[in-house]
Amino acid sequence: MLNINVPHDIYYFALAFLMVFFMLALVPAPDRRELFGLSLLWGFGGNLIFVAVFGGLLNLFHWQETPFTFLGSPFVLNLAWSPAIMIYLYFKPEKKSLFWLYLVSFSLVSAGLDAVFNQLGSLVYIAWHPAARFAVAVVWLLAANIHFNYLAKNKITLF
């Protein structure tokens, strides 16, 4: 196995670039404008809260410090959650049975990324596991969906 020492920020920027690329390619501009505020709140803000609680307060994991670290986590990685949440909300199915499969699938991807960052050495587990990330992601994405449905039902937009 190759032992290549790559700065951690490259991984964060690569994921952020990939998420922005997919968001721009898959979500039409009018829908991006409509979902922007909600995706910023649940993506960027949600990840900051997640890291503050589980990483900072409970000390279950920590991110490797880099010049782009903000409140204990990579700033660019926090931002990458905004287009991810936008994609999640844009493509969520209306049928309940499909929604639960979609929710579990998106949560599995979140847990998988968690494991990848751990394997890359960017995310250090103290008392953490991707299964915990999966459980948190289910609750997090379900809450974002409930908030989205409430705003849509009442014709409220953020920003």
Q: How far apart are CA 107 and CA 4, in angstroms?
A: 30
- Percentage of the residues of the chain whose pLDDT score is greater than 90: 77
pLDDT at 6 (0 to 100): 64
Tokens found for residue 154: 């009442």
Nearest by Cα to 88 from 158, 22, 16:
22
pLDDT band at 128 (very low <50, low <70, confident <90, very high): very high
4 has pLDDT over 60: no
The DSSP 8-state label assigned to residue 94 in this structure reads: S
3 has pLDDT over 80: no
pLDDT digits (tens, 9 = 90+) for 62-105: 998 877 888 888 899 999 999 999 999 999 999 999 999 999 99
Please report, to the nearest 10 degrees, the dihedral formed by the alpha carbons of residues 118, 122, 124, 130 taken in order: -30
Q: How far apart are CA 81 and CA 136, in angstroms?
A: 14
Cβ(124)–Cβ(64) below 8 Å? yes
Q: Report how far apart the first and last C-alpha atoms of the chain are (Å, whole number).
A: 48
Q: How far apart are CA 43 and CA 84, in angstroms?
A: 7
3-state SS assignment for residue 53: helix
Provide mean pLDDT across the span 45-50.
94
pLDDT band at 157 (very low <50, low <70, confident <90, very high): confident
